[in-house]
Amino acid sequence: MKKFLVKGMLLSMLAFAFVSCDSDDDNITPSWVAPEITSAGVYILNSGSSGKNNATMGYYSSDTGVFTEKMFENQNDELKIGDTGNDMVIYGHKMYILASGSNKIYVTNLASKLLKIIEPLNESNQPQKPREGVAYDGKVYISLFDGYVAQIDTTSMTITKKVQVGTYPEELTIAKKKLYVANSGYGDGTTVSEIDLESFTVKTIDVVQNPANITSDKDGNVYIISFGNYGNIKSALQKYEPSTGKLTTLGTGIANKMALNKDNDKLFLVSESWDTGSRVVSLRSLDLKTNTVNEKSFVTAPGNVDLSKTYNVTVNPTNGDIYIATSDYSTNGDMYIFSADGTYKTGFGTGGINPMGAYFITGVK
């Protein structure tokens, strides 16, 4: 009887072991697989929450419809982007990932494998905090939060020049061989700097208070969004014409973020208001031929797509697809894709907080 009991116990233990192994196999998380990088690929940068060191970057394959999270982290032995991933620049076969809070510019290849880390410092060896970037003619230009714009040589991957602009500069754009940067002044700024890229000298343009977003069209016109003072000075969308020096206000309270459409004849505008005590987001567009605003949304979303938390908009320069990122500032965001005519195509989670937009292989933001 004792022998049978022992044998039964052994068989039970073996059976339990097999069940346990099967159960463990079911719970194993699949290993991360690097995606195939193609010209149709799109990178998504999540800034994360300030001070939390949780910025991430992923890759969306337009061919397969698959979004791969944490590209940078998985390609670089769990190295994290760090605090506040504020912008990316894709140029040639390299990417420049700007982590403002961590004072780092990560230079990688298109597979996100690290080539170099640049840490911009001032003459006192203090961090300058990279904010936004743009590429042109073999160089990458970065706004630095202590009031400078840096030029990075894309071959040596080093900062070769710096020029002083206004305080707390944000977005940049290039038009007709000149670089324009919005000097936010941390809310108090009232200027845009025009930098001649040949002489690297600066001219100042007066605009509405707190300029932050800036872009330019194919004709060289520059568009500036200023946030105002959130009180008696309203946010404003202005147009600057370098050929004449004319500055025109196209509207107030109509935009906080913007993106040019593929044909460069329309601006997609996103506005965010808290006047009612809660967040209200509006989508509208501006006809650049007539300078008139269309209050109708530039996209048509199905009932299961919530755009009330729209955070920003970017446009694929190749096919005109419109990418709308959403965020509630505390949980992982979503990205929704619409065709150039505003028809909904698909959507996916971005795997991180505060998606800063879509970045394309073409190198155009």
The residue type at 222: V
Give backbone dihedrals phi and psi of 7, rounded to 5 degrees, phi first.
Answer: -65, -40
pLDDT of residue 4: 38
Which one-letter amino acid corresponds to residue 91?
Answer: Y
236 closest CA partner among 252, 247, 248, 222: 252
Cα–Cα distance, 225 to 40 (Å, whole number): 30
Selection from 355, 294, 354 nearest residue 323 by Cα? 355
User: Cβ distance 88 to 45 under 8 Å?
Assistant: yes
Q: Is 49 exposed, middle or buried (0-12, 13-18, 19+ CB in 10 A)?
A: middle
What pLDDT sits at residue 28? 53
- Specify the DSSP class assigned to residue 363: S
pTM for the model stands at 0.90
Q: Please report which residue ranges of the chain form alpha helices under DSSP H.
A: 2-27, 71-75
Strand partners, 349: 334
- Contact between residue 89 and residue 134 where contact means Cβ atoms under 8 Å apart: yes
d(CA 176, CA 174): 7
For the CA atoms of 6, 7, 10, 12, the dihedral, rounded to the nearest 10 degrees, stands at -110
Q: What average pLDDT values come out for the chain (365 residues) when binned by 10 residues?
A: 40 41 49 92 97 97 95 97 98 96 98 98 98 97 98 98 98 97 98 97 98 97 96 95 96 97 97 88 96 96 97 96 97 98 98 98 59
Residue 221 near residue 241, CB atoms below 8 Å? yes
Question: In 3-state terms, what secondary structure has residue 6?
Answer: helix
Q: Strands across the sheet with 178-183, in order?
A: 169-175, 178-183, 191-196, 201-206
Q: Considering only CA atoms, which of 193, 196, 195, 217 is closest in space to residue 206?
A: 193
Count the Cβ atoms, other than its own, within 10 Å of residue 5. Answer: 9
* Domain regions of the chain by residue span: 264-350
- Cα separation, 227 vs 256, in Å, equals 7
